[in-house]
């Protein structure tokens, strides 16, 4: 049994920044992570970090762009915190030695990005995330913060009081890959989930295989509401054969999108007459798919992204990494020919419901980074707004968990007062077959030690059962079927029939999962076991995405519905919330917070 003040789960940008902040605030901190920190997916971020740093720019403009980009589903207190504090975080990174690209005069360079009214994206070539991650990890090493890497967290130790708002979190239980040991980590003051994205719910994604939504699934099963899960970002420029990302930085530098007729599609077909290629991501993804569906795609599958006109010198200076990706994964020389691109799953705007300090409704449980929903991105994230979210909210949550006084939050968490109940027209029963009978929920103990101990025993039993069962269904086929169904049915363009089809497929997958077994009996380095556990998380996450998508019958941001092709502010200016309720999911709603510090962001028509 290990014991610390603050346990951070995950060592990407969010987790590392939180650990540094908690330690600076005087806490004894440990990071528990299934990957080595510098293998975290933050390292794959290419394009940059938005920060209003220069004369002529202002955080209030950044906040306006972000609220507009969110299609008015962002919560203003979180959006304003992001935009106000991002500049100081960029300066902090620079002081810690991050190798930002620079202009001739020595200032940190900034480039245009989609949906921004000012060129405010700071970057380090096309490897911004790599530099960010290494810079933060150096600080963690320097401070002697303990890192348990290749420890896979299986569950959070949460009390089982009737209402989630009365529950508290006292630690986590994790499986060590190298030894097969299952151990408890007690947190005296707080557990911070920073487990990243969930792209593996889809089969065409820019996300790594480790991005399986573990934190979202664990928090959900512990009773924490999950927010706006239908809001999935599909990035317009991914390589068709692998899903590898071609950064928005290419369009930021002047890259152009062409259809099969060599038309500059964004202008020729009127998708974004002002901003063209630099319209918001949801707009560009829909434009590309419309071209493909109407027969103007190349090989009926993709469009072209051309950067040749930028010239070799500029490409090598600012986008060299893109040349390698196009060559290595698609066999295309970006200096000589256009690159094939199509939309692919990229980012989850929704996630674990938190306030602007990263707190969930369960006392002592925090969430930050891509697994969390504060909500900064609402219905659509602007490129370059995820990395500042990691540092701004990582720092905030780290300080809060370590006990710093940070004032009253303006964003509520959990069900408050007369919350609005929702219904969804699901063709199948949702949630856990046999509801509640899983080894993943809260525990039935009273004291903190008992809660941790009970969670440990449950997870040890779970691992033993998985390893001892000697036949049944393997996770891989279940995972592949759900990924295919999600890509086919819950993609950029959505309609009720297909969404219901996905719910049926998820239900069937859940039933097959109840007979899952692990073929590899090894006690150490058993990746078959780990993938089996992750697949369970994917099932819960896939269902939340699809339920949200079916319930929200409007077109907002990344969420397009065939049956209702307009934004319906009269009904839908609210967040979709899902609570697990011991295996029987409940849909409910909470209002969007549009009131900022000095102004209210009135919803307007969103055009680019």
Minimum gap (Å) between residue 11 Cβ and ligand FAD: 4
Is 281 known to be catalytic? yes
The Cβ-side half-sphere exposure at 123, using a 13 Å CA radius, reads 26
The Cβ-side half-sphere exposure at 546, using a 13 Å CA radius, reads 34
Beta-bridge mates of residue 15? none
Minimum gap (Å) between residue 368 Cβ and ligand FAD: 7
Residue 187 and residue 75: Cα distance in Å, rounded?
A: 30
Number of residues that bind ligand FAD (CB under 6 A): 41
- Binders in 180-209 for ligand FAD, by CB under 6 A: 194-197, 206-207
Do the Cβ atoms of 126 and 87 come closer than 8 Å?
Answer: no
Interface stretch with ligand FAD, choices 11-19, 303-311, 402-410, 432-440 (CB under 6 A): 11-19
Minimum gap (Å) between residue 467 Cβ and ligand FAD: 18
Minimum gap (Å) between residue 282 Cβ and ligand FAD: 15
Residue 347 and residue 117: Cα distance in Å, rounded?
A: 22
Report H helices in 199-337: 214-221, 249-252, 265-268, 281-293, 312-318, 320-330
Residue (244 or 496) nearer to ligand FAD, CB: 244
Q: Does 48 bind ligand FAD (CB under 6 A)?
A: yes
Query: Of the candidates 75, 19, 129, which has an alpha carbon nearest to the alpha carbon of residue 387?
Result: 129
Minimum gap (Å) between residue 152 Cβ and ligand FAD: 5
The Cβ-side half-sphere exposure at 184, using a 13 Å CA radius, reads 24
Q: Omega before 375 cis (within 30°)?
A: yes
Q: Does 89 bind ligand FAD (CB under 6 A)?
A: no
Sign of the dihedral through C-alpha 387, 393, 394, 396: positive
Among 384, 441, 442, 548, binds ligand FAD (CB under 6 A): 384
**DSSP 8-state assignment for residue 38:** G
Residue (195 or 491) nearer to ligand FAD, CB: 195
Residue identified by tokens 């207190």 is 77
Q: Does 278 bind ligand FAD (CB under 6 A)?
A: no
Report H helices in 105-206: 128-143
Interface stretch with ligand FAD, choices 27-35, 156-164, 261-269, 519-527 (CB under 6 A): 27-35
Q: Does 19 bind ligand FAD (CB under 6 A)?
A: no
Extract the tokens encoding 103: 């202009």
Q: Does 47 bind ligand FAD (CB under 6 A)?
A: yes
Contact pattern from residue 111 through residue 140 relative to ligand FAD, giving x for each residue in contact according to CB under 6 A and a dash for the rest: -----------------xx-----------
Residue 116 and residue 275: Cα distance in Å, rounded?
A: 10
Interface stretch with ligand FAD, choices 34-42, 67-75, 258-266, 402-410 (CB under 6 A): 34-42
- Binders in 356-375 for ligand FAD, by CB under 6 A: 369-370
Residue 581 and residue 422: Cα distance in Å, rounded?
A: 14
Contact pattern from residue 294 through residue 333 relative to ligand FAD, giving x for each residue in contact according to CB under 6 A and a dash for the rest: ----------------------------------------
Contacts of 319 (CB under 8 A, 6+ apart): 125, 126, 247, 249, 250, 253, 307, 310, 334
The Cβ-side half-sphere exposure at 345, using a 13 Å CA radius, reads 29
Interface stretch with ligand FAD, choices 26-34, 351-359, 408-416, 459-467 (CB under 6 A): 26-34
The Cβ-side half-sphere exposure at 225, using a 13 Å CA radius, reads 28
Backbone angles phi, psi at 152, to 5 degrees: -95, 115
Residue (153 or 323) nearer to ligand FAD, CB: 153
Interface stretch with ligand FAD, choices 37-45, 63-71, 321-329, 510-518 (CB under 6 A): 37-45
Q: Does 109 bind ligand FAD (CB under 6 A)?
A: no
Minimum gap (Å) between residue 555 Cβ and ligand FAD: 24
Q: Does 237 bind ligand FAD (CB under 6 A)?
A: no
Do the Cβ atoms of 169 and 365 come closer than 8 Å?
Answer: yes
Query: Residue 405 to residues 7, 369, 563: CA-CA distances in angstroms?
Result: 19, 21, 47
Interface stretch with ligand FAD, choices 31-39, 53-61, 307-315, 464-472 (CB under 6 A): 31-39
Minimum gap (Å) between residue 84 Cβ and ligand FAD: 17
First to last CA, the chain: 54
Task: Tell me whether residue 603 is exposed, middle or buried, using C-beta atoms within 10 angstroms of its C-beta: 0 to 12, 13 to 18, 19 or more.
Answer: middle
Minimum gap (Å) between residue 128 Cβ and ligand FAD: 5
Among 40, 101, 110, 135, binds ligand FAD (CB under 6 A): 40
Give me the DSSP letters along 533-566: HHHHHHHHHHHHHHHHHHH--S-BTTBEETT--S
Residue 232 and residue 491: Cα distance in Å, rounded?
A: 8
Residue (245 or 332) nearer to ligand FAD, CB: 245
Catalytic residue among 281, 296, 381, 462: 281
Minimum gap (Å) between residue 492 Cβ and ligand FAD: 17
Among 9, 191, 292, 448, binds ligand FAD (CB under 6 A): 9
Cβ-proximal residue to ligand FAD, closest one? 12
Minimum gap (Å) between residue 45 Cβ and ligand FAD: 3
Among 201, 229, 256, 386, binds ligand FAD (CB under 6 A): 386
- Binders in 490-549 for ligand FAD, by CB under 6 A: none
Residue (14 or 451) nearer to ligand FAD, CB: 14
Residue 438 in 3-state DSSP? coil
Query: Residue 166 to residues 222, 405, 414: CA-CA distances in angstroms?
Result: 12, 21, 10
Q: Which residues are catalytic?
A: 281
Instruction: Summarize as ranges the residues that interact with ligand FAD (CB under 6 A).
Output: 9-15, 32-35, 40-42, 44-48, 128-129, 152-153, 194-197, 206-207, 210, 214, 245, 346-347, 369-370, 384-387, 390
């Amino acid at each position: 049994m290990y014991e610390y003040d603050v346990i951070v789960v995950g060592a990407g940008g969010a987790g590392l920044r939180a650990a540094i902040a908690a330690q600076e605030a005087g806490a004894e901190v440990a990071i528990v992570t299934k990957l080595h920190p510098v293998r975290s997916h933050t390292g794959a971020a290419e394009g940059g970090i938005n920060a209003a740093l220069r004369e002529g720019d202002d955080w209030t403009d950044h906040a306006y762009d972000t609220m507009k980009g969110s299609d008015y589903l962002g919560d203003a207190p979180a959006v304003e915190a992001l935009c106000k504090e991002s500049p100081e975080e960029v300066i902090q990174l620079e002081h810690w030695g991050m190798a930002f690209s620079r202009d001739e005069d020595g200032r940190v360079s900034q480039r245009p990005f989609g949906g921004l009214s000012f060129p405010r994206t700071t970057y380090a070539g096309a490897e911004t995330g790599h530099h960010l991650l290494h810079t933060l990890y150096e600080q963690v090493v320097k401070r002697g913060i303990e890192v348990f890497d290749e420890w896979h967290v299986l569950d959070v130790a949460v009390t089982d009081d009737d209402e989630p708002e009365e529950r508290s979190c006292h630690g986590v239980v994790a499986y060590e890959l190298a030894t097969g040991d299952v151990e408890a980590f007690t947190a005296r003051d707080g557990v911070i989930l920073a487990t990243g994205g969930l792209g593996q719910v889809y089969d065409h994604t820019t996300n790594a295989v480790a991005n399986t939504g573990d934190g979202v699934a664990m928090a959900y099963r512990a009773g924490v509401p999950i927010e706006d899960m239908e809001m999935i970002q599909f990035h317009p420029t991914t390589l068709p054969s692998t899903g590898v990302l071609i950064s928005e930085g290419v369009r930021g530098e002047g890259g152009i999108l062409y259809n099969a007729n060599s038309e500059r599609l964004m202008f020729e077909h009127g998708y974004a007459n002002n901003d063209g290629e630099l319209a918001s991501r949801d707009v560009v993804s829909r434009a590309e798919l419309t071209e493909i569906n109407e027969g103007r795609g190349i090989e009926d599958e993709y469009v072209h992204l051309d950067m040749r006109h930028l010239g070799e010198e500029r490409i090598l200076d600012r986008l060299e990494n893109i040349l390698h990706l196009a060559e290595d994964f698609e066999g295309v020389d970006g200096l000589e020919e256009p690159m094939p691109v199509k939309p692919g799953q990229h980012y989850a705007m929704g996630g674990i419901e938190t306030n602007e300090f990263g707190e969930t409704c369960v006392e002592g449980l925090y969430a930050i980074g891509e697994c969390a929903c504060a909500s900064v991105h609402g219905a659509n994230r602007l490129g370059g707004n995820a990395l500042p979210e990691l540092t701004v909210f990582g720092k905030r949550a780290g300080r809060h968990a370590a006990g710093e006084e940070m004032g009253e939050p303006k964003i509520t968490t959990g069900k408050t007062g007369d919350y609005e109940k929702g219904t969804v027209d699901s063709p199948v029963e949702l949630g856990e077959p046999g509801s509640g009978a899983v080894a993943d929920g809260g525990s039935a103990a009273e004291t903190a030690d008992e809660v941790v101990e009970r969670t440990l025993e449950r997870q040890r039993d779970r691992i033993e059962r998985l390893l001892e069962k000697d036949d049944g269904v393997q996770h891989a086929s279940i995972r592949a079927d759900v990924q295919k169904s999600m890509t086919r049915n819950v993609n950029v363009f959505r309609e009720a029939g297909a969404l219901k089809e996905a719910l049926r497929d998820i239900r069937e997958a859940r039933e097959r999962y109840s007979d899952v077994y692990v073929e590899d009996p090894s006690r150490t380095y058993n990746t078959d076991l780990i993938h089996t556990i992750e697949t369970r998380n994917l099932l819960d996450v896939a269902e939340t995405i699809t339920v949200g998508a079916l319930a929200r019958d409007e077109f907002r941001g990344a969420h397009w519905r065939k049956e209702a092709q307009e934004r319906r502010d009269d009904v839908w200016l609210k967040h979709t919330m899902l609570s697990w309720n011991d295996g029987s999911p409940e849909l409910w709603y909470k209002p969007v917070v549009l009131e900022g510090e000095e102004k209210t962001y009135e919803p307007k028509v969103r055009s680019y």
